[in-house]
Structure 1
Amino acid sequence: MYAVYSLCLANLRKKKVHNGLIGLLILLSTLLLATSVTVILNTNNLFTDMHNKTHGSHEMLILGDELHDPYKLLEWWSEQEGVTSSELIPFRTISGITVQGKESSTGLSSLYLYMMDTPERPYAVDDLIFADGNESIHPEKGTIWLPTSIAYLYDISVGDTLGFTAGEKDFALKVSAVVVDMPYGAPFPTSVRIWMNHQDYEEQIHVMQGKDQYMMGLRFDNYSQSSSYWEQFEQDMGTPYLESKVSFEEMAAFYLIMNKVIGFIMIFLGIVMMLVALFTIGFTISDDVLSNYKTIGVIKALGLPSKKLMGVYLAQYALISMVAIIPGLITSQWISRVIVDSALSSLKTGVMEAKSDVNLVAFVLGILVFILVILCVLFYSNKARLVQPMQAIRYGMSESDNSAMTKRFAVKENQRISFGRAPLLVVIGLRNILKNRKSSILMTMLTIIMSAVLVLGFVLLNSISSIKQTSPLWGYDDSDIVLQINNQSIFSRAEFDQAILSDPRIKNFGWMGGINGVVSADGTLNAEHSDAQSMNFSITVIDGSYDEMGYTILRGKNPQSKNEIAIGIKVAKQLNKDLGDVVVVYLEGYKHTLTITGIYQSIANMSYSARIVADVVKMNNPDYSNLDTALINIEDNRDSDQIVNELNEEYKVSASAVSQQTLLEAVYKQAVASLILPMSIMGLLFTGVTIIIVYSISRINIRKESKTYGIYKSIGLTSTKIRLSVTLGIVAVSAIGAVIGVFVGVYFLPLILGSILADYGISDLPLILNWLGIIGFACVTIISAGLGSWASSRVVSTTSPQILVIE
């Protein structure tokens, strides 16, 4: 046992730098894997815990079209066992917020606001959790409660005064508390609930034209049984539920999407990094056995058994692993907390602490990494057991390897093709690569991975930052300017249309609105879904041309007449419908039989949506005018800002205009912010790993070739040229890996990522390929490998030729 201890200690002392680099590699592998798992579990746990803490709803009913009696619905649901319903909460809708004393924000001005007539707390369903401000049963007069989703995003705090426009008048209210509002508190907010004092609501909102609408939340003891309740509802009421409904999946989607994407990428890359680490350990052990073949033979001849020789490597790498894994696990908890906090800031009410079961999972993962390292060491150190003392002492290798080497030398002597005419630096560099094939393969694999990671991160960030270029592929329009009507009572659509048509800068425009659609379960679904509940989904209504507004279709075409409809991919899947099929849809209580002309993808409603033209609704409601958004295309994009300013000045009381570019950036800037940190961490980790492994492998190769390099220096070749030739060989290998990595990062990894986004209604991930940036990040890979190789070859210049030859 003392012999094992002595040899292990000798290996640790002799190769301090190399062992330290292997330990760092194991640490980084553990860090990435543990971080990814913790991010996913922490995200799910945080959302689930907060949803349970607030008695969050599983379905939110929005009653405003007078297709059902709200009080009858409340009575019916109150009578159902296994379901908890909230009370009816009155609300009206307006658009836009301004923060007094601060510069106007485009994101705030374009928000869709539900102004709630706040009942007294606590609520049976969707109770509010106070993140800042004094907790009370309702807002005091002159104050509001603001959700965390916009308070954190736009840096609004307790005490700030917010301005609103209702009808023809403006009013201001002070923020008295910031609250977590689960149904409308997800990242990337486009609509939020503003909780008002009852008296303020009566004075400022209730006086607006129109009638109150109502929200009612439903929480099921067993959410999987919700479909049976809706079937019973249809039987008792004689009609399916015809108004708007938000499902639990829709509420949860944008809480979880970013961290799911980040976690999935990190898990995939963490597994790859772990495989690289294991391969590196295996390569190191194999090289050590071959380099010390004669020494191992002598030790075995002196009586040390093979098992104890293997124990030397086991003890060495077990100690390195334990020293590396523990800091990796500790650091992963901190990094994962930062990532989760960034992506789920709207659920933050204080210090976010990781759950104990999450820490346990990370601990188990650390044990798994340790076991994998031990198994890898056992597998490769088995080569030491096969060493035959006599062959080792005589040949310095096995007899079969010696015979094979002799044959190769004989073959080389007879080869007509050689490097005789090639430049000396090229010959030395290629010789180093070809002679050390395993290390060359490892470096190629590593540079492929690093290049793919850097390119994927750049492509994702660039695609989201430049989302205007691909907005139709995300399910949005491609118009240049969006005008939102804030006050229907004083806005004249006829005058606006006339003014727009007479402006030569305007290319075309159309009016857009939204309506709720319902597909009844009576015979419209396939046999597999024959017992499914009625399906509610959002329908876009256009008075104009979908094609002119830039809406795209995956298959088929956009609807153009009153008997046509285009549906999202999730609707098509659930209804088992395809192009040319007929679907029966209820719109405002009226039954319509429509032909499917197109199928598209959209992230906004997870593709649970459809598109129709306004003529469909006007068949039963000729006066339909719920088209409150104008989509405007202009001839010259350089006129965009000027036209927006003119429209805001002309219609400042009744409408607000903003460029589509600004609107999309306001919505998705949070996505970019959430991606920057984790993608930067992964990029830096892989860059560091690349430099570390290239440095380590090059040191091993240089040590094996020290006598050769000593001879080169003795005959007059300078250290700089030797180092340059070695580096050029590594750069050539890394360049091949970088090119392959570019294609992996651009084409293969997005396919894997697309499997996550498919659950969110995106089947074809829209990417913007900036090849200049892609090539630039690929070059970072080559530079990193070159730096690692150049640094490792420093030993050639600092050592005399005589010592090199002696070694």
Structure 2
Amino acid sequence: MLLRIVKRDLQRNKIITFGLFVFIMLSALLVASASQVIIELSGSLNQLLIKSKAPHFVQMHAGQIDSSAIESFTAANPLVKDQQTVEMLNLDGSNVYLGSNQGSEANSVMDIGFVEQNPSFDLLLNLENKVIEVSAGEIAVPIYYMKQKNLKIGDIVSVLGEQFDKKFVITDFVRDVQMNPAMVSSKRFVVNAADFTALKQQLGEPEYLIEFQLTDLSKLNDFRNEYQSSNLPNKGPSIDYPLFKTLNALTDGIIAVVIILVSVLLMLIAILCLRFTMIATLEEDYREIGVMKAIGITQQDIRSIYLAKYIVMAAVASVCGYLLSLGVVRLFTANITLYLGVAPASILHYFVPVLAVGLIFGVVVFFCRMILRRFNRITVVEALRSGTRGEARMNTSGFSLSKRKFVNVNAFLGVKDVYGRFTMYGLLFYVFVISLFIVLVPVNILNTLQSPRFVSYMGVGQSDIRIDLQQSNQIEKRFNEMITKLENDPDISKFSPLITSRFKVLGSDGVWDSLNVETGDFTIFPLSYVHGGTPRSASEIALSDLNAKELNKKVGDIVHLEVAGVAKKLTVSGIYQDITNGGRTAKAQLLYDSKTVLWYVVALDVNPGISVQAKMDQYTKLFYPAKITHLQSYLAQTLGNTIRQLKLVTGLSIVIAFSISILITSLFLKMLLAKDSSQTAILRSVGFTLGDIRRQYLVRMLIISGLGVILGTFAANTLGQKIAQMLGSFMGASKIQFVVNPAVAYLILPLLFMLIVALTTVTSTISIRKSSIAKLIAE
């Protein structure tokens, strides 16, 4: 009997059951995929760190080094397990030509460094995570360029100088634990020792990576303070093991979070649909439930009859979702596999996705049990006497057809029905809200990343061109000469020289630490501040968001900085967002010591009508080997990988959300047409045509979808904004503001959404034609 009841229920509600099945399956598919992405990311990253023997602390330095001083420090420090000094030859992009590309890398934002394979640790690996070995005339190219330039094994890399012309054959692609991510603006090419020596004699500026592995990683901060308080080389940024992990995991980690968000929203839609379907089924079977109670079947057994169907459906849907994820997940893990490699499969690779899918199944069953508690309110007498609980009374106060003015009859009846039965339409309304939320949040995040305004989250003001001078011989002289030429250039409307130096700062723990401070006039190209504003005197300082948190400072607090050997109190004037240099920077108007300068930067705007690209080409030759960057190009090159991944997720979200809207609108109308069959017959009998009735349903659906669009857009710009800020906080931008494209977010997508609902409504109401008036009245 139980099997017959379940079978009949499935046959009676095939479309509804199929819809619920699809929602649960999609939710299971996405949550299984996201969990597999996280496990794959964690395993592959750990494998890369182990295989490459990642350094724990790296100090970059441009200029001469005292090797004996480094060796003495290493020998005397018990925290040091191993140490090596790596020489990297920095080449100007204008000297490097990749593959069949006709142009050089002059306009690339990446710093190109040529190195030999490291002897001890910080090993550079190939695509099989094996240590790269290259012979004379061969080269291993970073994966970043393989993707950007579509390079392959056997392509040629040319290095050209005034008196130098060398061609290398690509034999491998480099996995670099330090410089893998596109967000890291330096890349290492691996060449043979003999080729490195030949290059060094002709081109480039040497830079040194002073690398350490520690005996106890938990004492990394202690070691950093010891190194930076010594007189060892430090003209350059310092990076460490936790930062390697964060930067390598950032892109795919964010994508996994977005997928989980979509999965949770799908699960919410499935639960809303489940509630509506189960309540409708209980109302249809009200008399049968009363009969079963009357003949002695226990309430628990009756509940089990109805629960069995949903348990089987949820179990099959969850299993199907998991099996589909095994194929779909490769779309999301392809980037991980390429940049980090494939980790050996462990029990977690199988257990965690199964556990995640099991959680989806458990949530469905739990809510089914909650909904079926309605059995407690069903009495045998009422069920047998009436056969129904009766529909809630329609609230139509204030809506009288005779009192309508200037309103079409069909539109009036459609509005009246929505107003009177809004509780019933609530399911559709909330599904539309969630669907639009699923669409708009990824679209807004993507638009924000692609916007020129996103540069404000990189700790710099908006300008046309940025010129970077890294450490090299006579750098200060070159910088001063460059400033003189810019002052005399009539094509320049304004420019701002900025100098980054290293200072000592008193941390919240009372220990002096190092802080990179950019000095200059920050009113020329102002930043966007989360709190406060620009430092306008030598007694003020602005801190990046992450630095402010680490130092436990807010606007108006005092920061102790060591300037020219003297402790100085500076007032925090503002806090800004910065995702560069690990998110730990500061801005001030201080006198700097040329011996502690890390790098020089000039930001500038050209006059109207002047070609930015032409000016960049001119400066590339004039200020060689300075790096000339168009800031918009910088965003495209450093965030390009993240943007490509997000485009995939955004496209998938749009397809899923619109598919859900079509499916749920069809299901809802099927139930609504069945419920309104007698009312439809009455309308037809008094003269309403099929077209009139369809227009009434169309008005209802457009009202609900319109309200859903309004609330969904509001939720995307508020709750969605909070989600984006949560993701941004990991990078040092905890107050990201959506850059919304009004035409897309407020016009094209909402209109497309409502058009899909309208077309689905028109298609679904065609079934009214098939029923005669006599049959409808008989029902």
Decide: shared fold, TM above 0.5: yes
2:468 paired with 1:472: no
Alignment partner of 1:510 out of 483, 496, 499 = 496
Map of 2:669 onto structure 1: 698
2:775 paired with 1:803: yes
Secondary structure, in 3 states, of the residue corresponding to 2:126?
strand
Paired with 1:719 and 1:300, the residues of 2 have a C-alpha distance of 42
Structure 1 residues 100, 6: CA separation in 2 closer, same or farther (over 3 Å shift)? closer
2:24 paired with 1:26: yes
Q: Deviations over 1:543-570 (max 9, x none)?
A: xx32223444434444456665432222
Map of 2:196 onto structure 1: 201
2:698 paired with 1:727: yes
Structure-to-structure mapping, 1:659-698, within 5 angstroms:
659-698=630-669
Map of 1:16 onto structure 2: 14
Map of 1:546 onto structure 2: 522
- 1:286 CA displacement: 1.0
Preserved contact between residue 139 and residue 176 of structure 1 (Cα < 8 Å): yes
Q: Which amino acid aligns with 1:478?
A: Q
More off after superposition, 98-107 vs 476-485 = 98-107
Structure 1 residues 161, 75: CA separation in 2 closer, same or farther (over 3 Å shift)? farther
Q: Which amino acid aligns with 1:786?
A: A
2:91 paired with 1:94: yes
Alignment partner of 2:615 out of 637, 643, 661 = 643
Structure-to-structure mapping, 1:488-499, within 5 angstroms:
496-499=482-485
Structure-to-structure mapping, 1:311-322, within 5 angstroms:
311-322=304-315
Structure 1 residues 330, 290: CA separation in 2 closer, same or farther (over 3 Å shift)? same
Q: Which amino acid aligns with 1:194?
A: F
Map of 2:745 onto structure 1: 774
Structure 1 residues 452, 331: CA separation in 2 closer, same or farther (over 3 Å shift)? same
Structure 1 residues 114, 167: CA separation in 2 closer, same or farther (over 3 Å shift)? farther
Q: Deviations over 1:639-695 (max 9, x none)?
A: 3233234444x5386456443322332222222111001122122212212222222
Q: Which amino acid aligns with 1:11?
A: D
Structure 2 unaligned residues grouped into runs of 5+:
none
Secondary structure, in 3 states, of the residue corresponding to 2:123?
coil
Paired with 1:77 and 1:627, the residues of 2 have a C-alpha distance of 27
More off after superposition, 273-282 vs 33-42 = 33-42
Secondary structure, in 3 states, of the residue corresponding to 2:127?
strand
Structure 1 residues 563, 305: CA separation in 2 closer, same or farther (over 3 Å shift)? closer
Secondary structure, in 3 states, of the residue corresponding to 1:469?
helix
Preserved contact between residue 526 and residue 534 of structure 2 (Cα < 8 Å): no
Paired with 2:449 and 2:425, the residues of 1 have a C-alpha distance of 36
Structure 1 residues 80, 153: CA separation in 2 closer, same or farther (over 3 Å shift)? farther
Structure-to-structure mapping, 1:382-461, within 5 angstroms:
382-384=373-375, 386-398=377-389, 418-420=400-402, 421=404, 423-434=408-419, 436-461=421-446
Structure-to-structure mapping, 1:201-240, within 5 angstroms:
201-206=196-201, 212-230=206-224
Alignment partner of 1:142 out of 134, 137, 142 = 137
2:126 paired with 1:130: yes
Q: Deviations over 1:174-208 (max 9, x none)?
A: 33321211011123341112223222222222566
Q: Deviations over 1:209-239 (max 9, x none)?
A: 87x543233334542222344566689x599
Identity of aligned residues (%): 18
Q: Deviations over 1:367-387 (max 9, x none)?
A: 222222222222223334543
Secondary structure, in 3 states, of the residue corresponding to 2:55?
coil
Preserved contact between residue 182 and residue 640 of structure 2 (Cα < 8 Å): no
Preserved contact between residue 188 and residue 671 of structure 1 (Cα < 8 Å): no
Q: How many pairs were matched up? A: 770
Paired with 1:344 and 1:757, the residues of 2 have a C-alpha distance of 24
More off after superposition, 494-503 vs 196-205 = 494-503
Preserved contact between residue 143 and residue 173 of structure 2 (Cα < 8 Å): yes
Paired with 1:501 and 1:362, the residues of 2 have a C-alpha distance of 61
2:525 paired with 1:525: no
Map of 1:369 onto structure 2: 360
Structure 1 residues 209, 592: CA separation in 2 closer, same or farther (over 3 Å shift)? farther
Preserved contact between residue 455 and residue 778 of structure 1 (Cα < 8 Å): no
- 1:586 CA displacement: 5.9
More off after superposition, 786-795 vs 246-255 = 786-795
Preserved contact between residue 117 and residue 132 of structure 2 (Cα < 8 Å): no
Q: TM-score, normalised by structure 1?
A: 0.86
Secondary structure, in 3 states, of the residue corresponding to 2:182?
coil
Preserved contact between residue 34 and residue 256 of structure 2 (Cα < 8 Å): yes
Preserved contact between residue 39 and residue 340 of structure 1 (Cα < 8 Å): yes
Map of 1:603 onto structure 2: 579
Secondary structure, in 3 states, of the residue corresponding to 1:27?
helix
Paired with 1:103 and 1:262, the residues of 2 have a C-alpha distance of 34
Structure 1 residues 174, 485: CA separation in 2 closer, same or farther (over 3 Å shift)? farther
- 1:17 CA displacement: 1.4
Paired with 2:497 and 2:71, the residues of 1 have a C-alpha distance of 35
Structure 1 residues 74, 741: CA separation in 2 closer, same or farther (over 3 Å shift)? farther
Preserved contact between residue 62 and residue 208 of structure 2 (Cα < 8 Å): yes
Alignment partner of 2:171 out of 145, 163, 176 = 176
Paired with 1:535 and 1:231, the residues of 2 have a C-alpha distance of 6
Secondary structure, in 3 states, of the residue corresponding to 1:85?
strand
Structure 1 unaligned residues grouped into runs of 5+:
none
Map of 1:44 onto structure 2: 42
Alpha-carbon RMSD across the aligned residues, in angstroms, is: 3.4
Map of 2:348 onto structure 1: 357
Structure 1 residues 260, 492: CA separation in 2 closer, same or farther (over 3 Å shift)? closer
Preserved contact between residue 62 and residue 235 of structure 2 (Cα < 8 Å): no
Structure 1 residues 163, 331: CA separation in 2 closer, same or farther (over 3 Å shift)? same
Paired with 1:448 and 1:482, the residues of 2 have a C-alpha distance of 43
Secondary structure, in 3 states, of the residue corresponding to 2:174?
strand
- 1:10 CA displacement: 0.7
Preserved contact between residue 95 and residue 111 of structure 1 (Cα < 8 Å): no
2:28 paired with 1:35: no
Q: Deviations over 1:731-763 (max 9, x none)?
A: 101111111111111222121221231121112
Q: Which amino acid aligns with 2:716?
A: G
Q: Which amino acid aligns with 1:373?
A: V
Preserved contact between residue 32 and residue 270 of structure 1 (Cα < 8 Å): yes
Q: TM-score, normalised by structure 2?
A: 0.89
Secondary structure, in 3 states, of the residue corresponding to 1:146?
strand
Preserved contact between residue 538 and residue 610 of structure 1 (Cα < 8 Å): yes
Preserved contact between residue 58 and residue 239 of structure 2 (Cα < 8 Å): yes
Preserved contact between residue 678 and residue 776 of structure 2 (Cα < 8 Å): yes
Secondary structure, in 3 states, of the residue corresponding to 2:593?
helix
Q: Deviations over 1:694-732 (max 9, x none)?
A: 221221121111122123233332223212211210210
Map of 2:59 onto structure 1: 61
Preserved contact between residue 447 and residue 781 of structure 1 (Cα < 8 Å): no
Paired with 2:357 and 2:599, the residues of 1 have a C-alpha distance of 57
